[in-house]
Amino acid sequence: MLKKFIFSLTAVMALSLVVMAQDKAAKEVTLKGHLADKHCAGADMATHKKGCVLSAKCADSGLGVVVDGKFTAFDKDGSAKAKAALEKSKKDGGATFEVTGTVTDGTMTVKSIKEVG
């Protein structure tokens, strides 16, 4: 009887660990907002100019996306993709982008960035 109880308890604990691991796995998300640098993330994104974001001082602070006032930083590869998307954009400011990727510990690993408005 004790062996069955210990076996059952072990099985339940193992399944719990699997469920917990799945919850912590990064899930793909799509965020729609403005590309910005960390230095200027608090600025008015509707009027923030891409020249500022692409300047050495601002770009070196790290790039990310601002959605509803919340800045989500990109990893190094994501920052390079954001820089390319901004350079390609015909708009000088206020462009909206759709960014798809996974967020882990507040940093987004970017899969794709496309301008949507």
Mapping DSSP onto H, E and C, the string for 53-89 reads HHCHHHHCCCEEEEECCEEEEECHHHHHHHHHHHHHC
φ and ψ at residue 55, rounded to 5 degrees: -65, 150
φ and ψ at residue 13, rounded to 5 degrees: -65, -40
Counted domains in the chain: 1
CATH number of residue 74's parent domain: 2.40.50
> Does any domain span residue 20?
no
pLDDT tens profile 97-117: 999 999 999 999 999 999 998
> Does any domain span residue 103?
yes
pTM summary value: 0.76
Average pLDDT over residues 61-75: 96
> Does any domain span residue 33?
yes
Q: 84 lies in which domain range? A: 26-115
pLDDT at residue 9, as a whole number:
46
> Does any domain span residue 53?
yes
pLDDT tens profile 35-45: 999 999 988 88
